[in-house]
Copies of this chain bind each other. A is one copy, B any other.
Amino acid sequence: MKNIKNYIIKKAEKSKNASKKLALISTDGKNRALSRIAGLLDRNSNIIISENIKDIKAAEKNKVSSALIDRLRLDEKRIHLMADGLRQIVELPDPVGEICEKTVRPNGLIIEKTRVPIGVIGIIYESRPNVTVDSVGLCLKSGNCTVLRGGSEAINSNRILVDIISQGTYSSGIPNGCVEFIDNTDRSIISEMIRLPQYIDCIIPRGGEGLIDYIKKNSYIPVIAHGKGVCHTYIDKDASFRKAIEISFNAKVQRPGVCNAMETLLVHKDIAKVYLPIMIEKFKDAKVEIRGDRLTKKIVNKIKPAKESDWYEEYLDLILSVKVVSSIEDAIFHIEKYGSHHSDAIVTENKKTAERFLKEVDSASVYWNASTRFTDGSEFGMGAEIGISTQKVHARGPMGLKDLTSYKYIVRGNGQIRK
């Protein structure tokens, strides 16, 4: 236990020291390193795959789910996608040094609120090895050092990826220590890592609810976390029929396994009798299992009943709960009570109703006549994202490069003293 503590302290301290140097590296320097890493990933895909196979074999031996094995797997295509992700980050503007606000005070002091890196970011993640490359890319571009703690299932893949990243940073003059990899799968390392506020400035957990909850409850370091996405689409009585069908279908079916997919469909009673039979037929054709409330079941036959627990559920699958509501108040009440404040949409042609929904629904992203599936850094125009925050402090919604920065006040004077 003591050894583990010393091990992680040494890593974190090295990272902290490197962060002071990395903060001063030019945009060109950071971009050069990112491009090099991208090239190295492409050229070393064979060795990455051979290391990845070790993880896959171990996972198969441990009889883990096929979904987990899919998340774990790296093939030629996925490796090139990671490399391309880095090249896209190169193209994004560097947030560091941006002057967010400038004030000249009556006493002549010139105050510039200037973007700076956060410093050291601890990334704690699970089985997906691409998180290693994506996180390093975004953190490096925003001038932050990373301490990486990936899942034990991906240890061989992560080790080779960090090795390649280090070749790229080293040969580009990026300070040693800017990417520190916890090459130790002991779970107790997480509880030590999240209690080093003197070295690590921020923890970003990426993974399941259990991991995130544990970290939020035990960290001494500020945490920026994404939560689950229990997303709603509300079909108002004044909805365009075509938009209602297309948007609901897209929100549920286009990619059901992600956090911005719809989990609950709310339908105004005045439109339910016409809309629901057609919509549910379309969903059934797409193999979506429907779980309806009492009124939904009255309108459409042969569907499962929704239990109280269904309204809280993030299915991440081709399952949808459906409820008929009698007003926009009911819809908002339901979303506020059961939702996760991630992404919620209204479909209506009535501007007044829409604006009320947009104002009163307290979610990170609220939509009028569009699919919740758009909640995504790239769709929002901020480039790659490090996650989607459902908390309200620091960052909310898709988190891009700017959300990986802090700021400082730079004050220039000519001898001012306080009276």
Contacts and interface: CB of A to CB of B under 8 A. Distances in A.
A365 B412 CA distance: 11
B247 A392 contact: no
A217 interface: yes
B411 A368 contact: yes
Interface string A389-419: 0011110111000000011111111111110
Contacts of A119: 362, 392
A365 B408 contact: yes
A359 to B, nearest CB: 7
Contacts of A391: 201, 222
A276 interface: no
A380 interface: yes
Contacts of A20: 336, 360, 362
Contact of A374 (B109, B358, B367): B109
Contact of A417 (B246, B393, B396): B246
A369 interface: yes
Contacts of A243: 414-415
A250 B419 CA distance: 9
A350 interface: no
A216 interface: yes
A103 interface: yes
Contact of A416 (B370, B398, B409): B370
Given A222-B223, A374-B109, A392 B416 contact: no
A240 interface: yes
Nearest to A405: B392
A360 B398 CA distance: 30
Nearest to A394: B394
A411 B370 contact: yes
Interface string A226-267: 000000000000001011001101110011000000000000
A392 B202 contact: yes
Contacts of A381: 103, 105, 111
A93 to B, nearest CB: 14
Nearest to A247: B417
Contacts of A201: 391-393
B406 A240 contact: no
A23 interface: yes
Given A360-B24, A381-B103, A393-B118, A370 B408 contact: no
Interface in A354-373: 354, 358-360, 362-371, 373
B415 A246 contact: yes
A126 B197 CA distance: 24
A23 B362 contact: yes
Nearest to A103: B381
A393 B393 contact: yes
Given A224-B393, A250-B418, A251-B417, 11 more contacts: A111-B380, A118-B393, A202-B393, A222-B393, A365-B409, A367-B411, A368-B412, A369-B415, A369-B416, A371-B417, A373-B418
7 contacts: A222-B223, A222-B392, A243-B414, A365-B409, A367-B411, A374-B418, A396-B406
